[in-house]
Amino acid sequence: LADRLESAWKKLRGQDKISHANIQEALREVRRALLEADVNLQVVKDFIADVETKAQGAEVLSGVRPDQQFIKVVYDELVEVMGETNVPLAQADAAPTIVLMAGLQGTGKTTATAKLALHLRKQDLSCLMVATDVYRPAAIDQLVTLGKQIDVPVFEMGSNADPVEIAREGVEQAKAQGVDTVIIDTAGRLQIDQDMMAELIRVKEAVQPHETLLVVDAMTGQEAANLTRTFHEQVGITGAILTKLDGDSRGGAALSVRRISGQPIKFVGVGEKVEALQPFYPDRMASRILGMGDVLTLVEKAQEEFDLADAEKMQEKILSAKFDFTDFLKQMRLLKNMGSLGGIMKLIPGMNKMSDDQLKQGETQLKRCEAMINSMTKQERKDPDLLSSSPSRRRRIARGSGYKESDVSKLVSDFQRMRAMMQQMGQGGGFPGMPNLFG
């Protein structure tokens, strides 16, 4: 994907505005990436239409290529559509919280029931698992065995009882025992089938669950969309668990499930073992769907380019001696954002003799500078020389920021030294050290 995107983008280079024509090509690449990830075709079409609208509204910042900015919009939109943050399991006001598991046969419902129970038990919440799959001969045994393994009780009434009755009795028992959460495992079919749906609806009506989770196999691919629609329309789901993400699947089903039902994916299954359950994180899933790290790296690069664009403007200012306190603060924030104040400071001539300890103090110093600069008037920030000649101004800033007058004097003299040094470095054309500082 990265190679293809890269080649498509090479053709776009040198243009500074997102236009209908130049995103068409990148859109095709994104479309292909989503389809390869098994996102449902209709979902892909709708999603891309949305992103296109958004991207076209966006202005391209200088120093950034339209394609880079576009991919950032795609990624951000993907994260947003999938829910931005993880949504935890619902909790009933009065125990027990009732969770109903739904889904086709073989998707991992029974396994997910045990995984969820273990997850809750680790949070010191007591659980009861209810076995209502009376159709498959070994289904009840499977849950009982899992229950022993994780030390969580299982309620069952054998394979001759009515699933609705089992569910109702199971919930009654959970109430009587004061259990925190009761998880009802249900029977699936290989394909959507009206008997299965009818039974699921009856169970749901009987126990009134707080959470109805659709268990979806990540390998389901394109079909995940239809599946979700049917379950959501007929039964009504409140969330989903995406299983078998330890496989090759790029997880496009996550986008389909979310777009179609509007309900969040709450957990992902990443293996056969009972411990293999993780909360769902939309940002991780977004990069997996788009092609994992490749795109994220590109997004990060784009972000760095935003910063670089800022740095270039700054360089012009320094050279034209218009560098003031506002720029100084911006510069310091930029350095902070880049994450390694220490590493960057070392690159600045004259500062490389600082010890690591001193470098660690950089963060504290930045806060201090910010506070003092924030206490300056607009005029003072623009014309730092005002401060070197006026003790009363310095006193006022000291009072406003909560620092000493000597701190303010030091800030002013440091600033002036830095400005002089930068101008000296800049003389004779070019500013060799500068771009490296921010690259």
- Find the helix or strand (DSSP H, E) in which 242 lies: strand 239-243
246 annotated among ligand-binding-site residues: yes
97 annotated among ligand-binding-site residues: no
If binding means CB under 6 A, how many residues of this protein chain bind ligand GDP?
17
Residue owning tokens 């007929």: 234
273 annotated among ligand-binding-site residues: no
- Spatial distance between the Cα atoms of 351 and 417, rounded to a whole number of angstroms: 12
Segment interacting with Mg ion, rule: CB under 5 A, options 7-15, 58-66, 106-114, 192-200 = 106-114
- Spatial distance between the Cα atoms of 410 and 397, rounded to a whole number of angstroms: 13
272 contacts ligand GDP (rule: CB under 6 A):
yes
Angle between helices 20-36 and 282-290 (to 10 degrees): 100
264 contacts ligand GDP (rule: CB under 6 A):
no
As measured in angstroms, the least distance from the Cβ of 270 to ligand GDP is 6
269 contacts ligand GDP (rule: CB under 6 A):
yes
As measured in angstroms, the least distance from the Cβ of 154 to Mg ion is 13
- Closer to ligand GDP at the Cβ: 265 or 387? 265
41 annotated among ligand-binding-site residues: no
Partner that binds at residue 48, options Mg ion, ligand GDP, none, CB closer than 5 to 8 Å by kind: none
111 contacts ligand GDP (rule: CB under 6 A):
yes
Contact with Mg ion (CB under 5 A): which of 68, 110, 212, 238? 110
Q: What is the DSSP string of 90-120?
A: P--SSSPEEEEEE--TTSSHHHHHHHHHHHH
- Closer to ligand GDP at the Cβ: 139 or 408? 139
244 contacts ligand GDP (rule: CB under 6 A):
yes
As measured in angstroms, the least distance from the Cβ of 110 to Mg ion is 3
Segment interacting with Mg ion, rule: CB under 5 A, options 109-117, 120-128, 168-176, 202-210 = 109-117
Helix boundaries (H) for 58-83: 66-81
91 annotated among ligand-binding-site residues: no
- Name the residue among 28, 51, 56, 49 with its Cα closest to residue 286: 51
Q: What is the DSSP letter of 319?
A: H
113 annotated among ligand-binding-site residues: no
As measured in angstroms, the least distance from the Cβ of 141 to Mg ion is 11
**C-beta atoms surrounding 94 within 10 Å:** 6
- Closer to Mg ion at the Cβ: 219 or 386? 219
What does the buried/exposed string (b/e) look like for 270-294 if buried means 16 or more CB atoms within 10 Å of the residue's CB?
A: bbeebebbbebebbbbbbbbbbeeb
- Closer to Mg ion at the Cβ: 139 or 341? 139
Q: What is the DSSP string of 168-218?
A: HHHHHHHHHHT-SEEEEE----SS--HHHHHHHHHHHHHH--SEEEEEEEG
- Closer to ligand GDP at the Cβ: 196 or 373? 196
As measured in angstroms, the least distance from the Cβ of 133 to Mg ion is 5
- Closer to Mg ion at the Cβ: 276 or 376? 276
Residue owning tokens 């159709």: 135
**C-beta atoms surrounding 66 within 10 Å:** 22
- Closer to ligand GDP at the Cβ: 110 or 181? 110
107 contacts Mg ion (rule: CB under 5 A):
no
331 contacts ligand GDP (rule: CB under 6 A):
no
212 contacts ligand GDP (rule: CB under 6 A):
no
- Contacts with 361 (C-beta within 8 Å, 6 or more apart), sequence order: none
As measured in angstroms, the least distance from the Cβ of 168 to Mg ion is 20
What does the buried/exposed string (b/e) look like for 299-314 if buried means 16 or more CB atoms within 10 Å of the residue's CB?
A: beebebbbbbebbeeb
Give the binding site for Mg ion (CB under 5 A).
Answer: 109-110
Give the binding site for ligand GDP (CB under 6 A).
Answer: 103, 105-111, 188, 243-244, 246, 269-272, 276
